[in-house]
Structure 1
Amino acid sequence: MTDINDDTIQAAGCVLWRRSPVDGELEVCLVHRPKYDDWSHPKGKLKRDEEPLTGALREVAEETGYDAVPGTELPTAHYLANGRPKRVRYWAAEAGTGSFAPNHEVDRLLWLSPTAARNRLTQPRDRILVDALLDALRLA
């Protein structure tokens, strides 16, 4: 648990993946957030006393419309958000059933090859998560 005096924003998300329905190749899901005009992995702040994995799966469902089957935990991101430290825990997660509908948080969703996803991501720190996903899937 976090220290009561810790000002760190706690968040969680997933690097959501699937096999292409066209050619069976690996695809990574990226979401576009109009508020920040950025492309990222689905993620969000945890609710009070919410377990990180539970929050990660909730955020995937809210932002993408897909259920997700969690896999390996990926590297945790640490950075400043509006002057406050932020910690985002990530998991590899295979997309289950669902479909995307634009909403106020996410207006676009793309399924891209790992290379295209790496190139589209706005934050360099998010790119290492694509590599970590590939490593995790190779070991699975």
Structure 2
Amino acid sequence: MTTPQKPVRAAGCVLWRRSPSGDGIELALISRPKWGDWSHPKGKLKRGETHGQAAVRETLEETGMTCELGPELPTLRYLVDDRPKEVRYWAAEAIGGAFVSSAEVDRMRWCPPAVARDQLTQERDKELVDALLSALHATGEVR
């Protein structure tokens, strides 16, 4: 009998900002060349770090943006190389910063929610767009 593996613990943000045009919001998506995908910023927790701290740190590292955490969004659970991974997400408003490409993240783009949903590679990440919109409507951040 095999002992179930502990999940890899990670955290991330669905990063958003008010559109510069004043028409709605935009979401930040990152391109990761290692995986050949478009996703939300996320990463593994460091020792002694809370999920919320990891989400803010990873967002800054991958997007160059500082953010303010909002409502927690659904936790995603999936397998990576046959090992369970659990990623807790938050809605997070971008409050400053600028993107600088790196080996890990080579591009970032701001997109309206519908475009972001189409651009995201993984289906599970697309579900977070709807969760973000619902959370922002519920808190009155966006109408």
TM interval, shorter chain, is: over 0.9
User: Which residue number in structure 2 is paired with residue 66 of structure 1?
Assistant: 65
Counterpart residue number, 2:75: 76
Q: 1:6 to 1:82 in 2, by over 3 A?
A: closer
**CA deviations over 1:16-63 (Å, ceiling 9, x no partner):** 000111234210110000000100000001111210000000000000
Two-structure CA RMSD over aligned residues (Å): 1.1
TM-score (norm 1): 0.94
* TM-score normalised by structure 2 residue count: 0.92
Letter aligned with residue 18 of structure 2: R
Unaligned stretches of 5+ residues in structure 1? none
Amino acid at match of 1:40: S
Equivalent residue number for residue 55 of structure 1: 54
The separation in 2 between residues aligned to 1:101 and 1:51, in whole angstroms, is 25
Encode CA deviations 1:61-92: one digit per residue, 9 max, x unaligned. Answer: 00000000000000000000111000000000
Distance 2:124 2:111 in 1: 18
Number of the residue aligned with 2:6: 7
Letter in 2 for 1:34: P
Aligned counterparts, 1:104-115, within 5 A: 104-115=103-114
Task: Report what 2:99 is aligned to.
Answer: 100
- Rounded to whole Å, the distance in 1 between the matches of 2:40 and 2:34 is 15
CA contact (8 A) 2:14 2:128 kept: yes
Separation of aligned partners in 2, 1:82 and 1:6: 12
Identity %: 56
In structure 2, the residue corresponding to 1:119 is in which secondary structure?
helix
1:74-116 Cα offsets, whole Å, 9 max, x none, are 0000000111000000000000110000011100001001000
4+ residue segments displaced more than 6 Å: none
2:5–2:83 CA contact under 8 A, matched in 1: no
Structure 1: distance between partners of 2:34 and 2:42 = 14
State the SS of the aligned residue for 1:104: coil
Paired residue total: 136
